[in-house]
Structure 1
Amino acid sequence: MTNTIVYRLDQILFLAINKWHHSTTDVFFELITSTLFYIPLYILLIAFFKKTLGWHGVMLFSLTIIISDQCSATWLKPLFARYRPCYAMSQLHLVGTYNGIYGLPSSHASNTYAFAMLFWRIFKTNYKFSGLFFIWATIVSYGRIYGGMHYPLDVLSGAMVGCCIGLLMDRCYQKSSQIYGNTN
């Protein structure tokens, strides 16, 4: 019974978010959830990681995204087999693209929060605004609900998976730095 109440509240919150749309915000969220939109940012981040952490850092962040994506998309989505709202409900406002019929957990949320957590953990001492990537992750995640691709619990679970992976990868980074010394 508790699951039914939680899922019903999840649907109600989803519908409340999905129904508040406008053509301007549609364009914004289509861009903000598109992978291709971020290519310039990815290029800058690769250069930043190379400069600050060396190739070790580039590999660390790349591996974090790969693990996060595979964990959410390949392992957890088939395990939970929860249909995306765009498959489970009719008359939704759809914005953006998606792969697959399952939505729990959100891979967008998992990937962006894994990145944000790892970035913050590594750079929080040296860069005052290192936590801003959490805002980016939240906007991207909200856009997935707004666009009809995920329920709020899909996004919340994706954020939790991503944060855990980001923390785990930071732990690996810290251990490898202790063993091998500074990798810059």
Structure 2
Amino acid sequence: MIENIIQKDKEFLIYLNNLGSEQWDGFWLTITNQFSWTPLFALILYLVFKYYGWKKGLFTIIFLTLLVTFSDQFTNFIRGVFERLRPNNDPEIKDVLRTLIRPQSYSFVSGHATTSTVVTVFMILLLKKHVEYIKFLVLFPLIFAYSRLYLGVHFPIDILAGFINGTIIGLLAYKLYDLLDRRMNL
């Protein structure tokens, strides 16, 4: 059963990855780079300080920074447990993928999917009372994670598990943030 799921996962990745073309490669290489999202992160900073002021805004940004760090380290822990090869390193399929970058770390779960989902869930819950269109932030992890399939460095299950992982961490983090906020009376 598990072997069948893993095989279907590989086949689905090959299909999605081979939809790519040279004319789009530069775009997806830009999308996968975290620094390309700087305008979005700047907007998030602006919204946090606009609606929460300097004191609570600074607390929020420090909390978010710790949250991203935790998410990243938790992802690395999971990767160390499962040690799933990345598609670009998988001898069974690496030669049939369009691979534009070649990371060497393990694949399961996707750090891009996990961390972007954590930030998205947390920020939507935090700002939904103030910013009507904050729900569109959900496009961030979807686009960001798809870039990893396009580039052949994650399997679809890695991405799906990253979304689930990020959603759970984001929800729990928001509950912790809310509890701390009420206790500290910011």
| TM-score normalised by L of structure 1 | 0.90
CA shift for structure 1 position 58: 0.7
Identity %: 23
Question: Which secondary structure does the structure 2 equivalent of 1:110 belong to?
Answer: helix
Distance 1:118 1:156, change over 3 A: same
Task: Report which of the two has the higher share of helix.
Answer: 2
Aligned length: 179
Matches within 5 A, 1:36-75: 36-53=35-52, 54-73=57-76, 75=77
Choose which of 83, 106, 112 in structure 2 pairs with 1:81: 83
Aligned counterparts of 2:86 and 2:65: Cα–Cα separation in 1: 27
Cα offsets for 1:80-101 (capped at 9, x unmatched): 1000000002222013464x33
Q: Which residue of 1 aligns with 2:105?
A: 101
Structure 2: 5+ residue stretches without partners: none
Q: C-alpha separation between the residues in 2 aligned to 1:85 and 1:112?
A: 21
Please tell me whether the aligned partners of residues 88 and 102 of structure 2 are also in contact (alpha carbons under 8 angstroms). no
Structure 1: give runs of 5+ residues left out of the alignment: none
Whether the aligned pair in 1 keeps the contact of 2:51 and 2:130 (CA below 8 Å) is no
Deviations for 1:1-27, whole angstroms, at most 9, x for unmatched residues? x10111011011101101111223211
The answer to whether residue 125 in structure 2 is matched with residue 126 in structure 1 is no
Q: Counterpart of 1:171? A: 175
**Using a 3 Å threshold, how does the CA distance of structure 1 residues 110 and 178 change in structure 2: closer, same or farther?**
same
SS of the residue corresponding to residue 106 of structure 2 reads: coil
Letter in 1 for 2:4: I
Structure 1 segments (4+ residues) deviating >6 Å? none
